[in-house]
Amino acid sequence: MSAEDARAIARAFAPVRPWGNRWDYYYTLSKLRSDPLYPGVLDALRGTRAPVLDMGCGLGLLAHALRRDGQHLPYRGVDNDAAKVDRGRDVAARSGLDATCFERMDLATTLPEHRGSVAILDVLQYLPAAAQAHLLQRAAAMLDDDSRLVMRMALADHTRRGRISRLGDRAAHLIGWMQFRPRHYPDADSLQAQLQQAGLSVRITPLYGRTPFNNWLVVAQRS
């Protein structure tokens, strides 16, 4: 993502009044500048036209990145953090992002109805293993021929990157940015087997860029 795109998106998260809280602004600016997440996801969705369900959407940065990239796909974000969902909804409305909606939802207990593409970005590890398996099965069933399942996650392994990812997730919880602690890190082989069993072809590639984390991009579609 260009520096100009990152600045423009982050500016939308700056407080309306000069004395307001600038945390979301600095967080989004540094994430967009340093993390290859959104370029990877935008590439994976480019050329599709199906609506996007963003599970664990946080502030809804994906909606901004899609519009900035000229991808006018209808967007629905769900997340169990009510405060982030409210801020995400307000900023999207203030920014004039059309065809976007946000909803509070706990993915450990509830899964939305949807037909189209699904994004699950840095979220899977916050669900217990059984809930992850259920979510992946349901997400696979949401895809039609024109859509993709796009996920990014830290995979379970014993590399230095794996350890740094686990520490980073725990630190995010300790400082209060993440309400919950990670529950289970999936491994590449079982993830791939599960998605293939659901009739999808799967591509798993590194997506950590210059960050120290063990992040991988998973793109799946009907085979």
Ligand X SMILES: C[S@@+](CC[C@H](N)C(=O)[O-])C[C@H]1O[C@@H](n2cnc3c(N)ncnc32)[C@H](O)[C@@H]1O
Among positions 10, 48, 56, 102, the unique one binding ligand X when judged by CB under 6 A:
56
Q: List the interface residues with ligand X, window 76-95 (CB under 6 A).
A: 79-81, 84
* CA dihedral (139, 142, 74, 150) positive or negative: positive
CB distance 191 to 220 below 8 Å: no
Nearest-angstrom CA–CA distance, 151 and 126: 14
By CB under 6 A, residue 122 contacts ligand X:
yes
User: According to CB under 6 A, which one of 9, 50, 61, 139 is a site residue for ligand X?
Assistant: 61
> Please, what sign has the CA dihedral across residues 175, 180, 186, 191?
negative
Rounded Cα gap, residues 51 and 26, in angstroms: 29
DSSP H/E element including 83: helix 82-94
Contacting ligand X (CB under 6 A), which of 32, 42, 66, 107? 107
- The answer to whether 40 contacts ligand X (rule: CB under 6 A) is no
Choose between 24 and 79: whose C-beta lies nearer to ligand X: 79
Measured from the CB of residue 15, what is the shortest distance to ligand X in angstroms? 19
Minimum Å distance from CB 22 to ligand X?
18
Using the contact rule CB under 6 A, the part of the chain among 90-98, 123-131, 187-195, 198-206 near ligand X is 123-131
Least CB distance to ligand X at residue 199 (A): 25
To ligand X, the closest distance from the beta carbon of 149 in angstroms equals: 14
Minimum distance, C-beta of residue 79 to ligand X, in the bound complex (Å): 4
Cβ neighbors of 26 (< 8 A, separation 6 or more) are 10
Count CB-CB contacts under 10 A for residue 68: 19
Distances (CA, A) of 127 to 63, 120, 134, 196, 206: 23, 12, 10, 21, 22
Residues in 184-223 that interact with ligand X by CB under 6 A: none
Q: Decide if residue 116 touches ligand X (CB under 6 A).
A: no
Q: Which of 60, 34, 44 is nearest to 217 (CA)?
A: 44
**If binding means CB under 6 A, how many residues of this protein chain bind ligand X?**
18
Residues that bind ligand X (CB under 6 A): 56-58, 61, 79-81, 84, 106-108, 121-123, 126-127, 179-180
